[in-house]
A and B are shown apart, each in its own frame.
Chain A
C-alpha cells in the first residue's frame, strides 16, 4: 500500500484500505464466526473488492493525462537506479569520485555483472527519505557527477565492458557553485565523448528525463523508456512560467511539450517503451525489473554483435538524423528582398 498516493491513485488507495480491513477481519475468529452466522462470506467479499480494484486501476491507467505521466515519473515510491542495479545485476561494486576533487552522490555507478557478463552500470540517484534526498540533491547532478559518469564510461571503454545507464533526474544542478565549476562544459564534454565511445551503451529512462541533466549521460546506442517515464527539454513548470508567466499551468505545458514515452517513440527519439506493471513500476518492482532486464538483454545482445567502428558510426548516424526541418529550394523571399 502507498503512503502518499497521487490524486488519481486515491480510489485505489481507498480500495486497498478496504481490502486490508477485510483481511484483518478475516483473521479474527470471533469476527469470522459472527459473519458466518449472518451469511457473509469474507473471502468472497475480498475477492470482489480486489476485482473492483483491478478494474479501477485499469480504467485509471488507460486514461492518464500527460500531467499524470509527469506525476508518475516523479512518484516518490518509484524504483530508483540503485534499486534496479540490485534487482538486475550481481556483484555490484560501487565506485566513487570524479578524480578531480569530489564525489557527487546524485550520480552512482560501478562495476557489476549483468546476466553473468561484466558491465559498467551508472545512473542518476534520487533519495528515498528527506535526508537522503538532500544528500543526493534530488538527483540533480553537479559537474563532479557528470565527470564521475564520464570517468566510468572511459573505464568501460578501456576494458571493453558494455554500459548500462539509468536516467532519472529533474535537471542538472544550476546553482552558483555548479556554474563556477562549469556545469555546461561538463555536460557538453560528455555529449561529445559519448558519441565516440567504443563500447555498447544501453540507456533506460526510468523516471524523469530532465533536459540537459538527463542527456548528459544518455547518448546511447539504444535508449529505452519505461512506460510512465518522461523525457523533456524543460520541466513543464518552467515552460509554463516562460510561456504564460504562471507555473501553475504546468499541466497544460506538459501536454504541449509532448513529453511522454509514447510521444518520444512516435518521434523516433527513443527506441522502445518498456511496459510497466499495471498501476506503475512502484506497485510491483520485481515484475518491473524482470521486464526491464529482458529488454536490456535483448538490445545489448544485438549491440554486442557489432564492431566498435560500426557502433560509433551507427550512434553518430542515430543522433545526426534527429530533429525536423525543411529545406526550401530557393532562399527565403525576405532574404532575397534584403539583398536586392
Chain B
C-alpha cells in the first residue's frame, strides 16, 4: 500500500501544540528542575534530570508517536451533551473545549507507525481530567468498529484520571459497558488491540477498555488505579506501598506487560504491530 494512497480524505494535521507566551520555562513537578520549554519538548517532555514524564496533550502525543503527516482524524465533531442538566456541567464543557480546542477528551483517527497502518486514540487529561462521557464512549466504539471492518490494529493512549464523567450520571457509567463491547468485537475478530496507560488512568476507564488490551504498556511513573487514594476506603492500619497505583506497581501485580519510557514507545509499538500483524498474515 503506497503511503498516502490509503487515505481517502485530505490530511488534517492539528498536532502542533499551540505556543503560549510565558511558557518559556517549565518546572518539573517531581524534582523542581527548571528547563527551557523548547529543550523539554525536544526531549519528548521528559525531565532531563529525573526522568519525570510530563503530561502530554492528545495532539502532542499523536505528533510524537505517529509517522509525520500520517494522522487523519475521524469523528472530530462528536461532542458531549448535558443529558442530566448537571450543575455547572455545560459551562465546564465549554471552558474545556475552549482551553483544549477539542470537542471532548479523546482524539481518534487513522495513523501509521513506522509504516504500519492502524487506528489510534489519544486521550487528553486537560479536557475535564480525561473523564469518559457519551462522546468519548461513542468515539472509542466507532473507532473499534471501523478497525474490525477494515482489519486495522488499534492503539489507545489513555490519560483519563477522571474515570467515568459523573456529570453524565448513569449514562457515563454505561460507557464502561459500551467501550468494553467494542473491545469484545476486536477480541472476537482477533484484531490486535494495544493499550498504553499514561498518567493518569483511573476508575471507570481503567476498569473498562483500558485494561482489556491484548498487550498493555505503561509510561514510567504514571498513576494507574481503580479508586483514588482519597476515594478508596483504605483499611485502617494498612500501609500503602510507596509506589501504590503507579505503572510500576501495576506491572508488579501482573496488570501491565511492560513499562516503556517515552523515548522507546514509538519503536516498541512498531515492533509489536509487526509481530502481531505478521502473525495474522501468515495464518491467513
Contact = CB atoms under 8 A, between A and B. Distances in A.
Interface of A: 172, 174-176, 178-185, 187-189, 191-193, 195-196, 211-212, 215-216, 219, 231-234, 238-239, 242-243, 256-259, 263-264, 267, 269, 316, 319-320, 322-332, 334-335, 337-339
Contacts of B103: 328, 331-332, 335
A242 B165 CA distance: 12
17 contacts: A172-B207, A174-B233, A175-B238, A179-B244, A196-B184, A196-B188, A212-B164, A212-B173, A212-B203, A234-B164, A259-B170, A267-B83, A269-B174, A320-B178, A325-B133, A334-B98, A338-B101
A320 B181 contact: yes
Interface residues of B, number: 74
B34 interface: no
Contact of A233 (B170, B185, B235): B170
Nearest to B172: A233
A232 B231 contact: no
A215 B137 CA distance: 16
Contacts of B169: 232-233, 257-259, 263
Contact of B175 (A174, A182, A322): A322
Contacts, number: 216
The 4 closest A-B pairs by CB, nearest first: A323-B134, A191-B180, A174-B227, A328-B77
B190 interface: no
A230 to B, nearest CB: 10
B171 A323 contact: yes
A191 B177 contact: yes
A195 B138 CA distance: 17
Given A212-B173, A215-B173, A337-B101, A233 B204 contact: yes
Nearest to B234: A175
B273 interface: no
A243 B87 contact: yes
B180 A188 contact: yes
B125 interface: no
B134 A325 contact: yes
B173 A232 contact: yes
A179 B18 CA distance: 38
Interface string B194-225: 00000000011011111110000000000001
B261 interface: no
Contacts of A219: 177
Given A184-B211, A191-B208, A269-B171, A242 B166 contact: yes
Contacts of B204: 211-212, 233
A216 B225 CA distance: 16
B272 interface: no
Contacts of B232: 174-175, 179
B97 A323 contact: no
Nearest to B88: A243
B255 A182 contact: yes
B271 interface: no
Contact of B209 (A179, A188, A322): A188
A269 B181 contact: no
Given A233-B166, A323-B133, A334-B101, 12 more contacts: A175-B234, A176-B234, A176-B240, A185-B207, A187-B176, A188-B206, A195-B180, A323-B135, A323-B138, A323-B174, A324-B83, A339-B13
B76 interface: yes
Contact of B81 (A187, A189, A193, A326): A326
B166 A332 contact: no
B262 to A, nearest CB: 23
B102 interface: yes
A258 B170 contact: yes
B78 interface: yes
